[in-house]
A and B are shown apart, each in its own frame.
Chain A
């Protein structure tokens, strides 16, 4: 177990370095290329994430897939009333995943997955118009999941495993819209914590009524990440406002839920070459009620979020062109969990249309190269966040947002 923790720590460090992007499902190049369907697709060890029950239906004795995506995400914001225009400074983030599956015998397989299903990285120009809500934020959670898959018979299998989540947060915002020091530099706070751990689980079921038709169900539990005694670094607080050094050496507590997700789906092999898949995700975002930060000096930052549960509808297609070459495509519609009036610029997501494509190129008997591409399209949306308060009254922050993201990915699969 010690080794496992160590490995997770190493991976966590790299995830931190690369933390960012939207909360976009990027849990495997093959399945991403098919619209991120996969709860009922028996393709590879990516099943560790998509549906652990399916591992036992894989043909290979041992197979491992590893990959990474480069997320180029962009946000444009404007406010017509005041003539504000802001572009984010988002850099490139590269979430990754590693999955391995090993067939112990005819009816049992084990697997291991490390992946990053949640994370957010947004950076606006410092002191931009919405800097009282966020200057920059980086959230990351790495899931570490040992998995068992048991086949009941030729048609039915179950699978699951515990999940160790390791999280980190770094969030900077100005403390309000106007407080500065004498030089006019805005007072701000950075909260920072890492190495936050919590446990959850995943459970899956796969049913194959016929050779060609597969049905899958997968449930991943909610995991609450709780930061305790994290570091809260206040900057540019006027000396006169820092009575008795109350803003020195401050710590914070906060809680962020990583919501549960239920997926049901089916795939159908039309013939030797063609496979279609459909997944339906339900993400239980209503767990995210508020981002409340409690500081050790008695200060509080209460930020209602009031998310709602949201669905995603995924369609995928796979075409085995040749023995070496497999082509994939897909589309999904991603419902935003953000309610109107709660549209905070740290996660300015409205509904999105997502287009995917990709291929696998078999280099040798054992090695294959997986490539994917995802384009996330958001319509522009006029929205506001109404729950920032000054003098006891709500001060809405509103404007038009337009986002997009371009996400190429590469992976490698090894198996025998």
Chain B
């Protein structure tokens, strides 16, 4: 009887093992081809975009859906090996340094009891402490916040430098040693194939801070740069050339991505220049007491177009401080006093409006500003205390046309360098700029709809308004795959963006 049982079990095992086999199975080597590329050891180098950063944080799910991780899973069909990432602990995002929170948690959509939806920072305690250094080496060498010249900067992973701002918390937790550089840790793995997408932060910090940093064009010493500065294009070119030199030293093949136009990301396109609705009573009062007289005085100084009379029937522009304007504080003060305004109030108004103007359609109001507009500024008397209406927004809240020009000039220079060096080294090149521009002009279709650059609902950008969603990263991964296939004669299958998530509801 026992014998019969064994025979039955053996027979059953044999039968279940009879999985039908395809004539041409996709999971067997040879169905797809790697062409001239060798994907056996793929290392991705870059910044937050390479790390899988999304929703204002680096969290587990984002890392698992980073574009290099998506690429690695497709490369596995053409000889790709393991892809090791410096995974954080949780899906909260946020970082601790010795127990103190140093980076914010991820953003999620919160639904109120009445059904209103709001993006909020997830209320939870992060568990990833950068003092717990992860054991590498890591195929994903994406370091959120890194600028081009940071990748070769010794001590960028040294926690002793964190206070001084010359170290990066994300690199601290993954550096092979405190003095290691990102590029050296990448090259030490002898990659057979690499991706390099760097340079975004060389302009992004300046842009997202509303241009409060310095345009360092002409300054060739990046160690003197602040975090919100624009990197000199020659510094970028030298750095980029060195990075590619290091990555290609073993004849590794690779793919490089250029820098998208930051002015088309939801961070700058979500808050309109004229988001302020006002009722008739308020309009009458403000036009009579403030805007009318102000416009009259400014007109006398040839600057009457700085402000427009308010309207109850159309949305009104925000009032901003523009450092590029001639400061008319003294003139304004004198004129107000001449008009019979008490000296103290005249001084306040002169200081508020001496360099202020209404925003125009050319100004880009930053995403975080939306939570400030219409709030009351403490310590300022009414009616001068309504933020963005009578109390001008700071320079940091708006990227003005001249600041945009500075950003675009640097971006164009970087992209010229990237394309030239890609061609020179025979690398695959991805025009992410053009790809991302499509998001702003009609969107990019997938099998379940279209993704656009609309904040939150567009599907391409995560809730920080800067970084893509997993679906956005998948679209980028497909562009990278297409470029690799074309450049190296490979046949790597694309992924289906429709299978990737967008934003998350709490």
Contacts and interface: CB of A to CB of B under 8 A. Distances in A.
A88 to B, nearest CB: 9
Determine the main DSSP class of B at the interface with A: loop
A75 B19 CA distance: 7
B21 A76 contact: yes
Interface of A: 70, 72, 74-76, 78-85, 87, 92, 129, 177-184, 238-241, 243, 378, 380, 390-391, 393, 395-396, 400, 402-404, 406, 408
A238 B504 contact: yes
Contacts of B471: 178
A395 B496 CA distance: 11
A181 to B, nearest CB: 8
B448 A83 contact: no
A183 B90 CA distance: 8
Contact of B20 (A76, A84, A179, A183): A76
15 contacts: A72-B15, A82-B493, A83-B493, A177-B498, A178-B471, A178-B498, A178-B499, A180-B61, A180-B504, A182-B122, A240-B505, A380-B22, A391-B448, A395-B448, A396-B447
A239 B504 CA distance: 11
Point out which of A82, A83, A390 has the most chain B C-beta atoms below 10 A from its C-beta.
A83
A395 B498 contact: yes
Interface string B452-496: 000000000000000000010000000000000000000001111
B226 to A, nearest CB: 35
Given A78-B27, A81-B493, A83-B74, A402 B20 contact: yes
A365 B15 CA distance: 34
A408 B495 CA distance: 41
Contacts of B122: 182
Given A182-B91, A238-B505, A240-B117, 4 more contacts: A78-B22, A92-B16, A178-B501, A181-B504
A404 B115 CA distance: 50
Nearest to A79: B26
B494 A240 contact: no
Contacts of A178: 471, 498-502
A85 B18 contact: no
A239 to B, nearest CB: 6
For the complex of A and B, the 7 pairs showing the least CB-CB separation, nearest first, are: A240-B111, A390-B448, A83-B493, A184-B61, A238-B505, A402-B20, A72-B15
B19 A74 contact: yes
A119 to B, nearest CB: 19
Interface size class of B (residues with CB under 8 A): 35 or more
B11 interface: yes
Given A81-B493, A404-B20, A243 B504 contact: no
Interface string B98-137: 0000000000111100010100001000000000000000
A396 B446 CA distance: 12
B340 interface: no
A181 B499 CA distance: 15
A85 B501 contact: no
Interface in B42-100: 60-61, 64, 74, 77, 91
Contacts, number: 112
A241 B505 contact: yes
Contact of B22 (A92, A402, A406): A402
Nearest to B112: A240
Interface string B1-34: 0000000000110011011111101110001100
Nearest to B76: A83
A75 B12 CA distance: 17
A215 to B, nearest CB: 37
Contacts of A129: 499
* Central interface residue in A129, A240, A406, by most chain B CB within 10 Å: A240
Contacts of A181: 504
Nearest to A90: B16
A402 B21 contact: yes
Contact of A240 (B15, B18, B448, B506): B506
A400 B448 contact: no
B448 A238 contact: no
Contacts of B25: 78, 85
B506 A83 contact: no
B64 A76 contact: no
A81 B494 contact: yes
Contact of B60 (A78, A184, A402, A404): A184
Contacts of A380: 20, 22-23
Interface in B164-209: none
A243 B19 contact: no
Contacts of B493: 80-83
A79 B77 CA distance: 13
B232 to A, nearest CB: 41
Contacts of A238: 504-506
A182 B122 CA distance: 10
B18 A390 contact: no
B499 A177 contact: yes
Contacts of B498: 177-178, 390, 395
A82 B496 contact: yes
Contacts of A87: 19
B449 interface: yes
